[in-house]
Amino acid sequence: MTVTTPTTAELTAIYTDLHAHPELGFAEHRTAGIVAERLHAWGYDVHEGIGGTGVVGVLTNGAGPRVLLRADMDGLPVTERTGLPYASTGTATTPEGRESGTMHACGHDVHVTCLLGAAAALAERRGEWAGTLVVLFQPAEEVGEGARRMVADGLYDRIGVVPDVVLGQHVMPLPVGVVSLTSGTAMAAADSMRITLHGSGGHGSSPEATVDPVVMAAAAVLRLQGIVSREVGATESAVVTVGSVQAGTQANVIPDRAELLVNVRTFDAGVRERVLAAIRRIVDAEAAASGAPKPPEYASVAAFNLTTNDAAASARTRAALERALADERPRVEAAGGRPLLVSLPPLPGSEDVGDLATAAGAPLVYWFLGGFDAALFEGFDPAAATGMGGLPDGVAPNHSPFFAPVPEPTLDLGVATLVAAAREWLA
């Protein structure tokens, strides 16, 4: 079987097609179909429908190490505003029943394209390595359930391989040519919850005859802001965000319930436990102070563990990434950038890729790939950008409706880094 690595033009065509057709978590049927079709054509043993829409390709090439490369596939319920000719115009119904625009606002289209390119390149050059290569395309990273559900669906038993190392990357608002690999804690733990506050509804003209959940919710929201400032120490770190407050439908009707969506980010297990307990304590107390007819209800929406890179595995992979960037220097410089391998501070964003490594008992190495026009960063220190804020004008963060990586040379660089990292671990 003859396999040819996709050209730059072919990679761009794959990327723009995926970008124009984002799919929400566990609904990535079209994307999964494209992935499976290509892996079949390149000689991979393909396993579909793992954890819902997950696709895994296995390429056995003699005795040797077992290496897993991972990409996530899902888009976000965001209406795109990039103005790109290949911008998404699609809509979808969220699990909560809300109609929304859809967008690859976090770069998962880049991830899928790069992993497809790497899968083809490694299949084409299989005479240069030995071992077993696993390429895993994961659903529903954005809700923190995709990796967990693939594992629960018997992932490693179904594919017949337990990897020795798990590798992956994420495109970020950094200059193209910049790669960041941080040993140890790389990304925060995250907990999202839905809190339902119960009141007693009635006419807006007679609040004394009600228990107003809107006032209850407002008091809780304000009080929650004191957790980080008064219960988290100066040498610790946490973020508590109330991202949604929903209550009532009419100005003259006091509703009987209010709903809060709360998100927590932490870098320490003890701080995580303390902050989550404080949220319940405060909300319960506000409900009691308001005379709520019954206690608040709590439901987990998403939970991400810390993303922690193994120190020894990161050092080994870092050397491979340095070689890849050196090889790609002409391409990067032609685009006005410069290849640079850095170690940024832990990112407050979150990932579930670590669940795949934990289930395998294998080390994780996860790095960040710059994907934005280097000219926009002129005079800007990449180390000043966390990936979520402090960015120069014209550079949108992940999850923004304006998030728009440049396809070239981002895609070629992403393929090169994945191939180099995999080759480092394969015999």
pLDDT tens digit string along 7-66? 999 999 999 999 999 999 999 999 999 999 999 999 999 999 999 999 999 999 999 999
Q: How far apart are CA 275 and CA 262, in angstroms?
A: 12
**What is the CATH number that goes with domain 8-188+306-425?**
3.40.630.10
The amino acid at residue 276 is: L
Q: What are phi and psi of 226, to 5 degrees?
A: -80, -10
Specify the DSSP element, H or E, that contains 178.
strand 178-180
Please, where are the H alpha helices in 261-375?
269-289, 311-327, 329-334, 353-360
**Residue-range domain boundaries for the chain:** 8-188+306-425, 189-304
Q: For 115, how many CA atoms within 13 A lie in the half-sphere containing its CB? A: 32
Strand order in the sheet with 54-61: 45-50, 54-61, 131-138, 66-72, 165-175, 364-372, 178-180, 340-342
Q: How far apart are CA 363 and CA 367, in angstroms?
A: 13
Q: How far apart are CA 23 and CA 103, in angstroms?
A: 8
The amino acid at residue 233 is: G
Share of the chain above pLDDT 90, in %: 94
Q: How far apart are CA 309 and CA 358, in angstroms?
A: 11
Q: What is the pLDDT of residue 427?
A: 84
Q: How far apart are CA 427 and CA 424, in angstroms?
A: 8
Question: Taking Cα atoms as reference points, which of 193, 140, 167, 198 lies closest to residue 352?
Answer: 140
Give the Cβ contact number of residue 240 at 10 Å.
22
Entry pTM: 0.95
Give the Cβ contact number of residue 230 at 10 Å.
8
Same fold, 8-188+306-425 and 189-304: no
What residues pair up with 61 in beta bridges, in sequence order?
131
Nearby residues of 151 by Cβ (< 8 Å), 6 or more positions away: 51, 355, 356, 359
Q: What is the pLDDT of residue 9?
A: 98
Q: What is the pLDDT of residue 384?
A: 61
Instruction: Please list the ranges in the chain whose pLDDT falls under 70.
Output: 382-389
Give the Cβ contact number of residue 113 at 10 Å.
28
Q: What is the pLDDT of residue 383?
A: 60
Q: What is the pLDDT of residue 385?
A: 57
What's the distance, CA 214 to chain centroid?
A: 33
Q: Taken in order 76, 81, 86, 92, is the CA torsion positive or negative?
A: positive
**Mean pLDDT in the chain?**
96
pLDDT tens digit string along 100-158? 999 999 999 999 999 999 999 999 999 999 999 999 999 999 999 999 999 999 999 99
**What is the CATH number that goes with domain 189-304?**
3.30.70.360
Q: How far apart are CA 333 and CA 242, in angstroms?
A: 43
Where does residue 245 rank: exposed (0-12), middle (13-18), buried (19+ CB within 10 A)? middle
Q: How far apart are CA 373 and CA 393, in angstroms?
A: 12
Q: What is the pLDDT of residue 2?
A: 86
Cis status of the peptide bond prior to 401, with omega within 30 of 0: no
Q: How far apart are CA 296 and CA 213, in angstroms?
A: 11
Q: Taking a C-beta distance cutoff of 8 angstroms, is the pair 69, 167 a contact?
A: yes
Please, where are the H alpha helices in 136-212?
146-152, 155-159
